[in-house]
Amino acid sequence: MTNQSFQRARSAEAKAQRHNDLIRAATCVLEQDGVDGLTLQAIASRAGIVKSNIYRYFETREAILVELLLRDFVELIEDMETKVSGEMAPADMAQLLSEMFASRQRLCELMSEIAPTMEKNISIDCIRNFKRALLAEASRATSVLQKGLPWLNAEEAMAVFFSIHVFVAGLWPVTNPPPALVTLYEEPEFAPLKYEFAPALFGMITAHLLGLEASKKLSA
């Protein structure tokens, strides 16, 4: 139930707390109802406020989603930093990355939504701030990737992460189909269309890394 006597946050600390409260409310709604169920009204109801007060902190629901994506990406990079301590074989790096993404359902779902949906309903200022933060975190990610695969230069490592984004964004909806398709894929005729996310992602990343490594050796 919303709180009609909601008090506007005045101090910087109070505003930051309200911002985080709304992110937590959005997280709860997203976990329960998915991206399609994440509406501003649902967030407001979970947070105990009226919907109009959300606009003091976020311009649209998509602005909330891009912040959640960025937070999840930061968490993944921090996890990488603890797990990549030295040089790795391409297949081992692919295994690690595929497992890390597969264990983060929300991140994968948001990555599949960002280009077709999320970035179409936020202002250019919001996009600019998001991309700036994303580039900073991607720079951290490339440093970790280079630690594990030192034959990659910084530009190549950044390109690898772009490719992984494309792999995840494309694979996630295909490997997490709606109920009707889940039923259809149980029929022998359509079984070849059924794919599991983690193994498919592992195969794509492995092929990509091995191809890059072979290409560099040939051009050396």
Which pLDDT does position 4 carry in this prediction? 42
Both 78 and 52 in a single domain? no
Is 0.95 topped by the overall pTM?
Answer: no
Both 73 and 51 in a single domain? no
Both 98 and 158 in a single domain? yes
Both 118 and 198 in a single domain? yes
CA 109, 115, 116, 120 torsion: positive or negative? Answer: positive
Q: List the CATH number of the domain containing 66.
A: 1.10.357.10
Both 123 and 163 in a single domain? yes
Both 118 and 166 in a single domain? yes
Mean pLDDT of 100-121: 90
**DSSP code string of 63-86:** HHHHHHHHHHHHHHHHHHHHH--S
**DSSP code string of 192-203:** GG---HHHHHHH
More confident of the two residues 18 and 81: 81
As a whole number of Å, the CA-based R_g of the chain is 20
Task: Please report which confidence band the pLDDT of residue 150 belongs to, taking 50, 70 and 90 as the band edges.
Answer: very high
Query: Range of 30's domain?
Result: 1-58
Both 211 and 105 in a single domain? yes
| Maximal CA-CA distance, the chain | 69
Total count of domains within the chain: 2
Which pLDDT does position 8 carry in this prediction? 59
Q: Name residue 40's amino acid.
A: L
